[in-house]
Chain A
Amino acid sequence: MTGAVRALLGDGRWHFQHGPIDCILLAEGEPGVAAACIERAWERFRGLLAELVAELDLLRTDLSSLDGARIAPHGVVARRMVGACRRHAEGGRFITAMAAVAGSVAEELIGRFDDARIQRAYVNNGGDIAVHLAPGARFDIGLVADPAHGLAGLPLAGRFAIDAASGVRGIATSGWRGRSFSLGIADAVTVLATHASAADAAATVIGNAVDLDDPRIVRRPANRIRDDSDLGARLVTCAVPPLDAAAIGRALAAGAEAARSEIARGRIIASVLSLQGRVLVVDGASAGPIARPLADAAFSRSLVPC
């Protein structure tokens, strides 16, 4: 069996990988301290997958079911996953703890950088990102609305800065084109929250809400595409035809309503929804300008939800 592996990338970032987990890590601060934090994060990372796998059955349980309401895993990350997702199971909505796995792992690792001598750090787990920011520090984020366009040479759908004062420490993106499945049709729903685990769960839920009843949307049972998907035979989005403006508007409005509900309950800080070229930013009136345009600011350290 192959254990966890890590590799230092040319630009100072690290890649930690084990099975399906791929994390990119960066830490800036006093050099010795940054390196020591990376080592602590690595030590924590090595046993993480086995810890999750040991309780996988619990983590794949529908939290809105009778069994789901009672589960209480032992692992730290597992408990965080269940905690982040259980609140979304209200009203019988299907959700398993797996909806927050990536963000929860990222959040577990970023905890190793909690040191006053670290200026900035991030753990990017396949597009679900946990950040550490010292007072006065900030990260510039590029938002890619449509993963099919990516970075190379094309303008980003949005740029914003998250500064320490904003309270944002978690960024997650959900969409039907990514590795994870979605029940909705959004190209990308990005959520900013105080914790990566919360952002991850909310992005899934809001992404599922961006939807339309259109027979041309191709949906297939999740377990036909990927064995043993925790979604079972639920229909996940496989293809979305070009939609007219009214349809795009309706689908985004449904997602926006879900996003506003999450903000009102204090679970997330802001959300950006995109669908076929239209981008909608939802943030609380009292939240202040989270999505500050960078204007001509140079784009550094791309944190791109993919």
Chain B
Amino acid sequence: MTNMSATPSSFAARSDGQPIDPGADVSIAALDHARVPERMSADKVRCEACPVLCQISPGKLGACDRYGNVDGVLTRLDTLALVARPGTDLVAWNAAAQGQWDGSLVGGDAPVFVSGVGSGTTYPDYKPAPFIVASTHAGVDMVTVVTEGIFSYCSFKVKIDTDRYLGPEQATVRHRGEAVGHVSTIEYGSQFLALGGVHHLTGGSKKEGRVVCEMMMALGNREPVELQIEGGASVVVCADRPPIVDGVEERRMRVGCGSAAIGIFAPQWAGHVDEVVVIDDHITGVLSEHQAGKFLDMAPTGIVLRGRKSTPGRYFQVAHPGAGWGGTDIVDPLSIVEGWERGRGARPGLRLLMVSTTGEDAAWFVLDDALVPRPAEMPADVRRVVERIGENCEPSLCSVLYVAGAGGSLRAGVTDNPVRLTRSIKDLLVNVTCGGAPVYVWPGGGITVMVDVAKMPSMSFGSVPTPAIVSPIEFTMRLDDYRALGGHMDRVRRLDEIVASGAYRLVAPAAGNPWPLDAPRGAPA
């Protein structure tokens, strides 16, 4: 294999010499040049692809920027990412691919999916997409049209699981001083930010565009991004990782505010407690006064809490955000109790549970003859409910969703009549994926996709100097349907040809991704 037939643009290196992502989910094992990789010192790998014979440290690239050391394995990085079918024996398959390729594996179901990552693009030319790959799946001839799209019209919707106040709706979000987006709505427990978009990319100053582009690439590639919200908090966002708000990492989504927790668990406490206080920096709940407690015919307890009463059993300003119980500043729970009124129900032997909205902190008291709360051992029935609160608290995470419109010239690489691709997608005859990850196609006109970047291969996102974002997109359909919608039949290549070129890396799909070659929903069985 000494002559590459593909053009250099298909092998554009992602890196400019910067260390590569050691978390890359690469599973390729053997390459010709690394058949005898020598470990020179510690974890270095020797590359024999060319006379320079680089000795590459872990996480670094060789002189050519094409080969790197990924976890001690020599790996070609500027390549097409082939997503391996779950259950595929990658080592055996790869060994067969490196040996005499007799096409026998292609006789069965295609074990790999050609993703758009690294496929290059023909933007803005009206040339067929870089790869139009035919393979067989479940006895049906399928075709996948693969490209890396260049998107100016794209953005990220970020969902941040936090109860902290991040900032007012519509406030500008800044990254490195530049305006990169705005605060959107808050859904229960999660604040949405809208980041990126064509106006920030190209409508503002060149500096703003470049900063926005770099931020969008980082978000898409699952790297942490520091944001500053005007009139609000600073937050570090990283896909699938907990948010860090004003320097504090969020750990759990609370099951709800103090009032919500009371409402959910009241029936489970009934009979085991005389009073429950759920401490929260937003609304602290008091069971006996709460609607839920009234419904259970609970007797009043005469508890006097600090703070400002809202509706019955709900108190504002009892606690504030901090490092204490459940993200509040409370360390000693009794510090919020100002007293007990004998005339309003306080009595010796009264059983009091105080708990945070995450269930991580709880204390059990019994009032003595002087109406002083004394710590006591928490009964098992009560502890069970406290633990259940904790069980109901999910880990706080940031979710990064990429939204892009693929309605423009990109379609011309697929078919000579672009609107027919759009219609086929709406008719569910085409599986649309991004790097093999499933996408949501928005209703209405155009092809507007939304995809969870955590489900895409690592380093799927690149950029061009416009500035614009480069991201993979694939359209999979039955070969017959492709022909019917005016596809470029003369550009279809078989999967085994792609594999024979050798310029690829195998990538494991994210857990739970449907196999892109499964028949589209709208196609007849």
> What are the residues of chain A within 8 A of B23 when measuring CB–CB?
none
Contact B2 A3 (CB under 8 A): yes
Residue of chain B at shortest CB distance from A147: B465
Q: Contact string, B62-85, partner A, CB cutoff 8 A, digits 1/0?
A: 111100000000000000000000
A2 contacts partner chain B, Cβ-Cβ < 8 Å: yes
Nearest CB of chain B from residue A60's CB, rounded to whole Å? 12
Given A5-B2, A50-B51, A151-B465: A17 touches B8 (CB 8 Å cut-off): yes
Contact B17 A179 (CB under 8 A): yes
Cα distance, A20 to B61, chains bound together (Å): 11
Contact B8 A7 (CB under 8 A): yes
Cα distance, A2 to B52, chains bound together (Å): 11
Contact B63 A2 (CB under 8 A): no
Contact B7 A7 (CB under 8 A): yes
Stretch at the interface among A198-206, A225-233, A244-252, A263-271: A225-233
Q: Contact string, A176-193, partner B, CB cutoff 8 A, digits 1/0?
A: 011101000000000000
Nearest CB of chain A from residue B123's CB, rounded to whole Å? 9
Given A7-B5, A9-B7, A20-B65: A2 touches B50 (CB 8 Å cut-off): yes
A150 contacts partner chain B, Cβ-Cβ < 8 Å: yes
Cα distance, A178 to B5, chains bound together (Å): 27
Contact B464 A5 (CB under 8 A): no
Interface SS majority for chain B: loop
> What are the residues of chain B within 8 A of A149 when measuring CB–CB?
206, 465
Contact B210 A148 (CB under 8 A): yes
Contact B465 A1 (CB under 8 A): no
Given A5-B3, A19-B63: A227 touches B50 (CB 8 Å cut-off): no
B1-34 residues at the A interface, CB under 8 angstroms: 1-8, 16-19, 32-33
Q: Contact string, A22-61, partner B, CB cutoff 8 A, digits 1/0?
A: 1000000000000000000000000001100100100000
Cα distance, A259 to B8, chains bound together (Å): 34
Nearest CB of chain A from residue B122's CB, rounded to whole Å? 11
Cα distance, A6 to B44, chains bound together (Å): 30
Cα distance, A19 to B52, chains bound together (Å): 7
Given A153-B466, A228-B55, A242-B207: A22 touches B8 (CB 8 Å cut-off): yes
B56 contacts partner chain A, Cβ-Cβ < 8 Å: yes
> What are the residues of chain A within 8 A of B50 when measuring CB–CB?
1-2, 18-20, 49
Contact A1 B16 (CB under 8 A): no
Q: Contact string, B28-53, partner A, CB cutoff 8 A, digits 1/0?
A: 00001100000000001000111111
A159 contacts partner chain B, Cβ-Cβ < 8 Å: no
B454 contacts partner chain A, Cβ-Cβ < 8 Å: no
Cα distance, A178 to B206, chains bound together (Å): 19
Residue of chain B at shortest CB distance from A222: B17
Contact B7 A20 (CB under 8 A): no
Contact A2 B33 (CB under 8 A): yes
Contact of B16 among A6, A152, A179, A228 (CB under 8 A): A179
B171-202 residues at the A interface, CB under 8 angstroms: none
Contact B466 A10 (CB under 8 A): no
A219 contacts partner chain B, Cβ-Cβ < 8 Å: no
Contact of A2 among B2, B7, B56 (CB under 8 A): B2
Nearest CB of chain A from residue B88's CB, rounded to whole Å? 27
Residue of chain A at shortest CB distance from B466: A152
Given A20-B64, A149-B465, A226-B60: A53 touches B3 (CB 8 Å cut-off): no
> What are the residues of chain B within 8 A of A234 when measuring CB–CB?
none
Contact B63 A1 (CB under 8 A): no
Cα distance, A7 to B121, chains bound together (Å): 18
Nearest CB of chain B from residue A274's CB, rounded to whole Å? 13
> What are the residues of chain B within 8 A of A295 when measuring CB–CB?
none
Contact of A53 among B33, B51, B465 (CB under 8 A): B51
B225 contacts partner chain A, Cβ-Cβ < 8 Å: no
Residue of chain B at shortest CB distance from A225: B17
Cα distance, A151 to B124, chains bound together (Å): 13
Nearest CB of chain A from residue B241's CB, rounded to whole Å? 24
A138 contacts partner chain B, Cβ-Cβ < 8 Å: no
> What are the residues of chain A within 8 A of B62 when measuring CB–CB?
20
Given A19-B51, A49-B51: A225 touches B63 (CB 8 Å cut-off): no
Residue of chain B at shortest CB distance from A48: B51
Chain B count of residues within 8 A CB distance of the other chain: 39
B382 contacts partner chain A, Cβ-Cβ < 8 Å: no
Residue of chain A at shortest CB distance from B48: A1
> What are the residues of chain A within 8 A of B8 when measuring CB–CB?
7, 9, 15, 17, 22
Nearest CB of chain A from residue B193's CB, rounded to whole Å? 24
Contact A228 B54 (CB under 8 A): yes
Nearest CB of chain A from residue B465's CB, rounded to whole Å? 3
Cα distance, A5 to B62, chains bound together (Å): 18
Nearest CB of chain B from residue A69's CB, rounded to whole Å? 26
Contact of B63 among A20, A50, A150, A153 (CB under 8 A): A20
A285 contacts partner chain B, Cβ-Cβ < 8 Å: no
> What are the residues of chain A within 8 A of B61 when measuring CB–CB?
226
Cα distance, A5 to B61, chains bound together (Å): 20
B399 contacts partner chain A, Cβ-Cβ < 8 Å: no
Residue of chain A at shortest CB distance from B50: A19
Q: Which of B1, B8, B18 has the most CB of A within 10 A?
A: B8
Q: Contact string, A268-293, partner B, CB cutoff 8 A, digits 1/0?
A: 00000000000000000000000000
> What are the residues of chain A within 8 A of B7 when measuring CB–CB?
7, 9-10, 15
Nearest CB of chain A from residue B290's CB, rounded to whole Å? 54
> What are the residues of chain B within 8 A of A50 when measuring CB–CB?
51
Cα distance, A20 to B48, chains bound together (Å): 13
Residue of chain A at shortest CB distance from B465: A150
Residue of chain A at shortest CB distance from B206: A149
Q: Contact string, A133-148, partner B, CB cutoff 8 A, digits 1/0?
A: 0000000000000011
Nearest CB of chain A from residue B30's CB, rounded to whole Å? 15
Cα distance, A148 to B56, chains bound together (Å): 28
Cα distance, A1 to B32, chains bound together (Å): 8
Cα distance, A129 to B464, chains bound together (Å): 23
Q: Which of B19, B50, B53, B57 has the most CB of A within 10 A?
A: B50
Contact A1 B49 (CB under 8 A): yes
A154 contacts partner chain B, Cβ-Cβ < 8 Å: yes
Residue of chain B at shortest CB distance from A10: B7
Q: Which of B1, B32, B48, B63 has the most CB of A within 10 A?
A: B63
Nearest CB of chain A from residue B251's CB, rounded to whole Å? 32
Residue of chain B at shortest CB distance from A241: B176
Contact of A7 among B1, B6, B32 (CB under 8 A): B6
Given A2-B2, A225-B17, 19 more contacts at CB 8 Å?
A1-B49, A1-B51, A7-B3, A7-B6, A15-B8, A19-B52, A20-B50, A49-B50, A49-B51, A53-B52, A53-B53, A148-B210, A149-B465, A151-B465, A152-B468, A179-B65, A181-B17, A226-B63, A227-B56
The 9 closest A-B pairs by CB, nearest first: A150-B465, A19-B50, A20-B63, A20-B64, A53-B51, A50-B51, A152-B466, A15-B8, A19-B52
> Could you list 12 A-B pairs, sorted by A, with CB under 8 Å?
A2-B2, A7-B5, A9-B7, A10-B7, A19-B50, A19-B52, A50-B51, A154-B466, A179-B16, A179-B65, A226-B61, A228-B54
By a beta-carbon cutoff of 8 Å, the part of chain A in contact with chain B is 1-3, 5-7, 9-10, 15, 17-20, 22, 49-50, 53, 56, 147-154, 177-179, 181, 225-228, 242
